[in-house]
Structures are given as structure tokens and as C-alpha cells.
Amino acid sequence: MDFLKGKLLIAAPQLADPNFKQTVVLMIEHHEQGAFGVILNRPTQSTVKDLWAELSEGSCHCQQAIHCGGPVTGSLLAVHKQDSLAQAEIMPGIFLAAEREYLDQLVREPAAEFRLFSGYAGWDKGQLEDEMLMGGWITSRATPDYIFDDTANLWSRVNRDITRTVLGAEKNLKHFPDDPSVN
């Protein structure tokens, strides 16, 4: 199996686990020992500004939502575009930070493009591969738009884009309506 670091996992429509129903997961690591990623489309009601008021003495004006990265409790993680604050590269131009110093710089930088996650999605050795063989996940390439744009309807948008790509290539379709039922 190809390793999925830097790719998207899209929950299949039949995936009933409430932790992952209609989710889009950015894979941060995937190797023989397991995998982990963050759910892109689970914003919480908490904002970065609110959280930083509790965690830090300085001010932060970022109104962005904190995202629930998954059901596994862990430290805060940021997916971002600033290589100077990178602890790891997820894919070209997209980085991970978890150190408080890096997170503090990111949330205070008005122009920084990032997502902040509380928790993550994790799989033990072979677990994700088994779930994929059972049809629980679809994979796709990740793009900065999927990672940083509005997360409302992300699951539907990614699925629609995959369908357009597959049908367009297979059937040589030039135009594919947003709602094929009105065709």
C-alpha cells in the first residue's frame, strides 16, 4: 500500500463511526507502525483568541475556530504554511507545528495561514489499512484549498470533486453539473 502522508482520507458514506462520519482527514504521518492525521472539517465553538487568553499572557486577536482534530486527546497542533515555524513538512509547502513557541508565533501573526487542532485521529499498525479494505475510507490528494478554506460542506465538496475527476476521465465528460439529478 502506498503511504498516505500528505493525502486526504475521506470518510465513505457508509462509515457509521460518529467520530468520523462525513469527515475529511489530512494525513500527517503514515508508515508501517501506524498513522495519524487531523480532521479538517470539525470546527469547535472555541476560538484561538479565547484559548490563547487562557494559555498565554499576551494578546491574540485571531477569531478562527479551534478544530477537533480527532478523538485522540493530545497537545495542540497547527497545520500551516510558514516553513520557518515548521517541525515537520506534511506535503510541499504545508507544515506541522506543536511546540508552544511556534504556535504562539503563528496565532499572533495576522497574515499567517494556519489551522489549530485539539486532538488527532490515530491508527495502530494495520488498523487504517483494514478500515480501507472494508471500504471505510476513500483517498484523494490534498490541496491548500481543502486544508485552509472554509470547512463548511468540505466532505461534500471533496466527494463531488472526486466524482467529477473519475467520471470526467472515464466518460470523457466536459461538463458535470453540481446536481446531476437536474440534468
Encode pLDDT of 113-168 as tens digits: 999 999 999 999 999 999 999 999 999 999 999 999 999 999 999 999 888 776 65
Domain ranges of the chain: 7-152
8 with 158: CB under 8 angstroms? Answer: yes
* Model pLDDT, residue 20: 97
What topology does CATH give the domain 7-152?
A: VC0467-like (3.40.1740)
107 with 116: CB under 8 angstroms? Answer: yes
81 with 105: CB under 8 angstroms? Answer: no
**To the nearest whole number, what is the mean pLDDT of the chain?**
90
Cβ atoms within 10 Å of 65's Cβ, excluding its own: 17
C-alpha dist (Å) from residue 4 to 25, 90, 157? 11, 10, 20
Q: Using pLDDT thresholds of 50, 70 and 90, give the confidence band for residue 176.
A: low
Residue 68 is placed in which grid cell? 477537533
User: Has residue 91 got a pLDDT over 60?
Assistant: yes
